[in-house]
């Protein structure tokens, strides 16, 4: 997430969805990264998540589009959903 989860806005809403999934789906564990700037840092954070075993990533900022596309090409076994445009999945 580009900002904090307690912003009472976009990031907060995404976090509520994450918490809902974790609470209601058996064997689902989620990971959260906050305050990630829209630069090369996002790609590094996503790579770290993938290395730790994450196989579904919700890319929650318009500035994350290009890094998400690069990661999707390098990791075809990982689903990356760009949430600013819900129908767009890499």
10 Å Cβ neighbour count for 80? 23
5-18: average pLDDT: 93
First to last CA, the chain: 18
Percent over 70 (pLDDT), the chain: 92
10 Å Cβ neighbour count for 66? 11
Amino acid 87: pLDDT: 53
CATH 3.30.70.270 fits 10-82, yes or no: no
Encoding tokens for residue 76?
Answer: 């075809």
Domains of the chain, residue spans: 10-82
29-56: average pLDDT: 95
CB 89 within 8 A of CB 80: yes
14-42: average pLDDT: 94
pLDDT band at 89 (very low <50, low <70, confident <90, very high): low
């Amino acid at each position: 997430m580009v900002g904090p989860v307690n912003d009472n806005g976009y990031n907060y809403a995404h976090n509520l969805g994450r918490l809902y999934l974790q609470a209601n789906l058996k064997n689902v564990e989620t990971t959260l990264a906050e305050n990630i700037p829209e630069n090369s840092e996002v790609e590094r954070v996503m790579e770290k998540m993938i290395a730790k075993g994450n196989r579904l990533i919700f890319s929650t900022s318009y500035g994350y589009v290009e890094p998400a596309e690069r990661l999707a090409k390098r990791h075809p076994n990982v689903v990356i959903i760009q949430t600013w445009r819900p129908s767009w999945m890499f």
